[in-house]
Structure 1
């Protein structure tokens, strides 16, 4: 994946020589995908608050230690191969806020699990300011995610999002305030959460299930079923695939 991103960056730099410095700084001067993401996210922090130091080397070290570039590569591959609005892997890496916010979460989660909870929550809030995506650093997030548009997504502390899940803008994985401890949803592999879906409580969205746009979900949804409405009800099995997220690879 990194070789693909580098090749695309070099091609764009040749097409637009005035952007050579930009592509060098963002992509071509870095040896690995993890290093490039670390630099990109650290630069965003400096832009957002001039009092913050450059965390790029520290983020690079965390990324290498935790193998975070594996998840990053899977996220880029999913978006760039499945989203017709994404022309290539370079675009996913540089400008898709869903991809960027998820990588920011991976770094924050690493600090959280290492015991630096205050710093992890600071990273969470800085990420929310930059990308309008608020994922608690304790939440467990898989790889190969399709996080489209991403604006307004909120994912709570004890939520779990497994591999290959698709999430649109405005989705909330929250609590009901009636539960303590483990109080957020568990979204299983390959599920789809459409725009502005609100899913509350320690419930399960089954593998391959679909939550329709604008739905309010307060009960577990079985695998392979579509739920819709306020409150949401299971309406029918999922049949076939969704054209918006099954475009052929470019």
Structure 2
């Protein structure tokens, strides 16, 4: 990659952060976002991984995880342009995960496998982790497990557990918490808002 191409890609990454995080007001401030460090070091580690330098690639990813507040991206994962990790704490992306363009994920998201006891039975080279389509949003603490596919333009809501394919343009939501009264207590005034629909942004 030429210096000019690298610069354009870096500016695009900063603009993605500025566009999707209302608390960021400039490219200079975006430079301090944990997503920048995670994405830039991932790209370097991914190049090393593809050249067969697996241990060096893993070392880079371990250092990036420590410095980014816990964003763990395996260097074997494939990630498109416009990728953004909001907040960034506790994110895990597995080795065979594939992420499309303009994807946003929030903190504590896992794109993982269903467990080594299943994966050891798969043929060598078989995908073990999710494929995420373009323009997908995955909410905080959502978990997507196994070789499933999240279709483009879908939203996976916070706390959702996904273990089956999701068609394009879908909304996958976890159950909304419902307050319950203790026996004999008076109703809580906020109980009326339970079940209010949640609007997610359309990307």
Instruction: Specify the alignment match of 1:203 in structure 2.
Output: 148
**CA-based RMSD:** 2.1
Distance 1:172 1:155 in 2: 6
How many pairs were matched up?
172
Query: Deviation at 1:82?
Result: 3.0
Query: Deviation at 1:81?
Result: 2.4
TM-score (norm 1): 0.64
The aligned runs of 1:1-250 (5 Å cut-off) are: 64=2, 68-93=6-31, 95-131=32-68, 132-177=70-115, 178-179=118-119, 180=122, 181-229=126-174, 241=201
User: Which whole-Å deviations, capped at 9, do the CAs of 1:164-194 have from their partners, x for residues lacking one?
Assistant: 0011000000000223331000010000000
Query: Runs of 5+ in structure 2 lacking a partner?
Result: 176-197
TM-score (norm 2): 0.78
Kept in 2: contact 1:72–1:143 (CA 8 A): no
User: Which whole-Å deviations, capped at 9, do the CAs of 1:33-65 have from their partners, x for residues lacking one?
Assistant: xxxxxxxxxxxxxxxxxxxxxxxxxxxxxx648
Structure 1 residues 191 and 176: CA distance shift in structure 2, 3 A = same
Query: Runs of 5+ in structure 1 lacking a partner?
Result: 1-62, 231-237
Query: Deviation at 1:77?
Result: 1.2
Distance 1:195 1:143 in 2: 21
